[in-house]
Amino acid sequence: MKTPLILTLLLAVLPCSEASTFWISPTGRDDGPGTATQPFASLQRALAAIQESGTRLPGESVTVRLLSGTYRLAAPVEIAADAIGAGERKVTFMAEPGHRAVIVGSRTLRGPWVHVRSNLWRTTIPEAAAAAWRFRSLFRDGKWQQRSREPDTGYFTVADMDGDRRRITLQPALPEAWTGAAGVEINSIAHWHYNRQSVAELNGSTVIVREPVGSDASGARLAMKSHNRLWLENSLVFADEPGEWYLDAARGELFYCAQPGDDPNHSSFSAPVTAELMVVRGTPQQPVRNLEFRNLEFAETEWEMPAEGRMGLQAGAWGADRSRTYSPTAAIRFLYCSNIVLQGCHFRDLGEGALALEAGCSDGLIASSSFRRVGANVIQVGRMPAYTGIGHPLHRDFVAPRDRISEEGAIPGAGDLYRTMTTTAAEAPSRIRIVDNTIEDCLHLDLGSVGIWVGYASHVRIEHNLLRNLPYTGISVGWRWAPGLTNCHSNLVAFNRVEGVMREAGDGGGIYLVGEQPGTKVLNNYVRDSRGSYSERGIYIDEFGDHMEIAGNYVAETADRSIYLHKNGPNQSLHDNNGDSGPTQLTPLDSRGRRWIKYLEERTPPDLSLYGPR
């Protein structure tokens, strides 16, 4: 009797074990059982299987294992709390050990390529004709390619400009052959603003734009200064360097400039169809809990270009005026989530950002992951997709009552205060760890973006990350250029290595902070090589910064000041920086509220292994 009983118990256990793991493969079938030998084909089918298994095994942890291959998405995958069990069990999406699973937001271009002349080739894309699919990025063998631009390297500057910034004469002069080119976009960097806008007309060296270049929401507008830089994109006449491409959206014809002797028919080309890959969306009443992503690769997404243009304000945010501000989206967005883990993943060749933690996110971990060729803000904590600020276009906190009073100069009604205290302020992200990550060669599509951005969030720990080769600021914490406490406080920036920043935009630094932030600490970081534009600092604490500790940091090779304070309060603690013990000696306060130190002897830490990923 014992043997049959043991067999019965084993048989009872086996279904539970099988049901807790599902496999998927690009060559699988969604009508299959989702086993290792007969995997599903899609993430959507795996999510349905998780939901189905929840009715049988509500407390069982679930793992979805992705086998090698490319998983192409036509739209973002939505993950909701009720679909994965509302936190009653842990759900993990991971690559099968030894496998490379790549999740992309692009479509393969079938070709064939036909030689046109010299190094120029053409292929027809019927589904793109009549502007039905106007993609803005192109990938060859999985790597982003430069859309046709001029100049190919370097920039134009402003030779002349009318008062409303609509008619701009560039220098050096433009070739007459470019006159009348259609569909051109003008890109510009003015101070810390990056702008991308449509051109109405090219007429000799004069560019006429549909809207004034740059936003009216800031006084730092495009001007006739050497650090204001411009370039043109998106015309067939610009496609003259290997890797450059142009899409004729009316005809559905794609042109590509190859290397001499190179045949693009021997490569795989793809173009994006979505700017987002996944949206993990809980609610205040039912947040997503205990979700993990491990050892996966995310790639090939699109970037946004509004009809009115993308006129930068600060750190990737843009808006035409003070009425509305937008933030870059991300490959994976999280809303109302807790206990989320993302570890050992790879993000590359993205049009916008990689990760965005928005309202209601807490207790998250982003660790041991790599980010390369990510177009805009790589990691965002506290992102608000679209909002109207109060006063300053960026001053909208996950609002605390005291800030509403100080901004508006009046006390809100009791009902409004109650709603704020019980809902809005509680949405501010908190307790997020960003550790041991590598961010390199990013922000190439929005040159005013930053590597790691923290807005209105608290208890965020940014530790042991490497940030290298970025056009603007490396790490940015804070989002209020005015007095008053906000939900940005008690954050830690420690043991990071930030190198090769401020290459394109100006007035930033390796590490940037702004506003009152009680409890925030910047400790033991190494910032080196902040230069390339203008006003490039090592550590920069901007307007109304106060109640922070800046200690134990090394700063070297900055074009401007090593540590720079602009209109800071009296409660800053700066000590033991660049190997000097005791208080860090700053210059006296000048008439514009600035103090700084430019180290005469810039030093390298005695042990560089302490900084960056472990």
Reported as a single tens digit per residue, the pLDDT across 351-371 is 999 999 999 999 999 999 999
Q: Are residues 60 and 119 in the same domain?
A: no
Q: Are residues 116 and 84 in the same domain?
A: no
Q: State yes or no: pLDDT of 17 exceeds 80.
A: no
Q: Which domain holds residue 139?
A: 109-269
Q: State yes or no: pLDDT of 597 exceeds 50.
A: yes
Q: Is the dihedral of CA 71, 290, 362, 436 positive or negative?
A: negative
30-66 pLDDT tens trace:
999 999 999 999 999 999 999 888 656 666 899 999 9
509 residue type, one letter: G
Whether 289 is in a domain gets the answer no
Q: State yes or no: pLDDT of 15 exceeds 60.
A: no
Higher model confidence: residue 585 or residue 415? Answer: 585
Higher model confidence: residue 404 or residue 217? Answer: 217
Residue 438 near residue 371, CB atoms below 8 Å: yes
Q: State yes or no: pLDDT of 492 exceeds 80.
A: yes
Q: Are residues 50 and 158 in the same domain?
A: no
For the chain, the straight-line distance linking the first and the last C-alpha, in angstroms and rounded, comes to 56
Residue 557: predicted pLDDT: 96
Q: How far apart are CA 313 and CA 327, in angstroms?
A: 10
392 residue type, one letter: H
Q: Is the dihedral of CA 209, 211, 215, 216 positive or negative?
A: positive
**Mean predicted confidence (pLDDT) in 552-561:** 96
Residue 308: predicted pLDDT: 87
pLDDT band of 410, cuts 50, 70, 90: low
**Mean predicted confidence (pLDDT) in 124-132:** 95
**Mean predicted confidence (pLDDT) in 428-445:** 98
Domain boundary among 253, 269, 285: 269
Q: How far apart are CA 17 and CA 1, in angstroms?
A: 25
For residue 203, give the H/E element and its range: strand 193-203
Domain boundary among 54, 89, 124: 89
Q: Are residues 531 and 590 in the same domain?
A: yes
Q: Is the dihedral of CA 410, 411, 416, 419 positive or negative?
A: positive
Whether 171 is in a domain gets the answer yes
| Helical residues (DSSP H) of 362-479, grouped into ranges | 401-408, 414-419
**Residues whose CB falls within 8 Å of the CB of residue 409, separated by 6 or more in sequence, listed in order:** none
pLDDT band of 321, cuts 50, 70, 90: confident
Q: State yes or no: pLDDT of 2 exceeds 50.
A: no
> Mean pLDDT across the chain, nearest whole number?
91
Whether 102 is in a domain gets the answer no
Residue 18: predicted pLDDT: 41
- How distant is the alpha carbon of residue 598 from its chain centre? 31
Residue 234: predicted pLDDT: 97
For residue 475, give the H/E element and its range: strand 475-477
Q: Which residues pair with 123 in a beta bridge?
A: 254
Residue 8: predicted pLDDT: 34
Render 132-193 in DSSP notation, one character per residue: TS-----EETTEE-PBPEESSSS-BEEEEE-TTS-EEEEESPPPGGGTT--S-EEEEEETTE
Phi, psi of 139 (to 5 degrees): -120, 130
Whether 30 is in a domain gets the answer yes
* CATH code, domain carrying 440: 2.160.20
- CA separation, residue 594 to residues 121, 207, 240, 587 (Å): 55, 38, 46, 8
Q: Are residues 260 and 328 in the same domain?
A: no
List the one residue out of 134, 112, 105, 452 whose CA is nearest residue 279. Answer: 105
Whether 207 is in a domain gets the answer yes
pLDDT band of 388, cuts 50, 70, 90: confident
pLDDT band of 561, cuts 50, 70, 90: very high
pLDDT band of 3, cuts 50, 70, 90: very low
Q: Are residues 187 and 69 in the same domain?
A: no
Q: How far apart are CA 539 and CA 342, in angstroms?
A: 28
**Mean predicted confidence (pLDDT) in 468-497:** 95
Whether 276 is in a domain gets the answer no
293-320 pLDDT tens trace:
999 999 999 999 998 899 999 999 998 7
Q: State yes or no: pLDDT of 497 exceeds 60.
A: yes
Residue 1: predicted pLDDT: 42
Q: How far apart are CA 432 and CA 293, in angstroms?
A: 16
Q: Which residues pair with 398 in a beta bridge?
A: none
- Buried b / exposed e along 29-60 (16+ C-beta atoms within 10 A): eeebebeeeebbbbbebbbbbbeebbeeeeeb
Q: Are residues 195 and 339 in the same domain?
A: no
Q: Are residues 548 and 469 in the same domain?
A: yes
Coil vs helix vs strand at 333: strand
User: What is the count of structural domains for the chain?
Assistant: 3
Whether 401 is in a domain gets the answer yes
82-113 pLDDT tens trace:
888 766 789 999 999 999 999 999 999 998 99
Helices (H) and strands (E) in the chain, counts: 5, 52
pLDDT band of 5, cuts 50, 70, 90: very low
Q: Are residues 473 and 537 in the same domain?
A: yes
Q: How far apart are CA 465 and CA 452, in angstroms?
A: 10
Residue 320 near residue 368, CB atoms below 8 Å: no
**Mean predicted confidence (pLDDT) in 483-506:** 95
Q: State yes or no: pLDDT of 262 exceeds 50.
A: yes
Q: State yes or no: pLDDT of 16 exceeds 60.
A: no
pLDDT band of 192, cuts 50, 70, 90: very high
Q: Are residues 115 and 83 in the same domain?
A: no
For residue 12, give the H/E element and its range: helix 2-19
Domain boundary among 222, 245, 269: 269
Residue 578 near residue 554, CB atoms below 8 Å: yes
Q: How far apart are CA 568 and CA 570, in angstroms?
A: 7
Q: How far apart are CA 73 and CA 164, in angstroms?
A: 43
Whether 478 is in a domain gets the answer yes
Residue 14: predicted pLDDT: 35
Q: Are residues 60 and 120 in the same domain?
A: no
Q: State yes or no: pLDDT of 6 exceeds 60.
A: no
Q: Are residues 36 and 130 in the same domain?
A: no
